[in-house]
Amino acid sequence: MNLAIDIGNTRVKVAVFEQNKIVELLFFDRKKIISEVQKIVKKYSIANGIIANVATLSEKKIKKLQEIVDFKFVSSSIKIPFTNLYETPKTLGVDRIALVAGAVKQFPKKNVLVIDAGTCITFDFVNSKSEYLGGAISPGIQLRYKALNKFTANLPLITSINLEDFIGKNTNESIISGVLNGVLKEIDGVITDYKNKYLDLTVLLTGGDINFLSKQLKSSIFANQNLLLQGLNEILIFNK
């Protein structure tokens, strides 16, 4: 079995794979990574592991993890199941690398636009030749709320992702309308631009805000909450 780990800023997402099938999905605090991985390895017969380390992981913890399982760490130098044509490949986030690997596996020989809606909203495009061309990075919903609160004198911090009307009848509703409608129109606009250039386009949505966005977006999309973990597993298989 394979173990795929996505280390975020605060929490860790883990999937245990039997070939391409997720056997178990887990979430826990980043501080508990050593003890939780030990539990998983004890429960399952883990042969290989892979880690996408978006947040900072200390050398001490990396060493301890390597003692538990022979982990591979995603980087710009790891072998990947697509051609990376990004002009600065060393700056491409490991999460984006994993997402594209997952997209190529799920939709082979297709033009795919991957939209990851989390802290940031990332757009990543891979064509039907499995060539990664690049994309875009934009502030996510919560990041926009925090920016309005931090860089103004009187605007409150909002966390809601419940959009009732595009006309805000008070300050809170106006912020919600501005942020959420702005995100929705931005994403729909980006999808339209790609569709105008690539007629046969598949749009794949993932990330923390997937539930809200998948119901609100006008464009036809496929939603996959576990795309990043599946992409990690695909990279691991590709490197065996």
Instruction: Choose, from 95, 124, 165, 209, the residue flagged as catalytic.
Output: 95
Please indicate if the annotation marks 221 as binding a ligand. no
Please indicate if the annotation marks 88 as binding a ligand. no
Please indicate if the annotation marks 96 as binding a ligand. yes
Please indicate if the annotation marks 12 as binding a ligand. yes
DSSP 53-107: E-S---HHHHHHHHHHS-EEE--TTS--SSEE--SSGGGS-HHHHHHHHHHHHHS
Please indicate if the annotation marks 119 as binding a ligand. yes
Please indicate if the annotation marks 11 as binding a ligand. yes
Q: Which two tokens stand for residue 149?
A: 């609160």
Catalytic residue flag (residue 95): yes
- The dihedrals phi and psi of 88, each to the nearest 5 degrees, come to -125, 75
Q: Taking the C-alpha atoms of 159, 161, 167 and 168 in order, what is their torsion angle to the nearest 10 degrees? A: -20
Please indicate if the annotation marks 70 as binding a ligand. no
Q: Which two tokens stand for residue 146?
A: 């925090």
Terminal CA-to-CA distance of the chain, rounded, Å? 13
Count of Cβ atoms closer than 10 Å to residue 114 Cβ:
29
Please indicate if the annotation marks 13 as binding a ligand. yes
Please indicate if the annotation marks 206 as binding a ligand. no
Indicate the annotated binding residues. Answer: 6-13, 86, 93-96, 116, 119, 171
Binding-site residues from annotation for K(+): 116
Annotated binding-site ranges for substrate: 86, 93-96, 171
Catalytic positions, please?
95
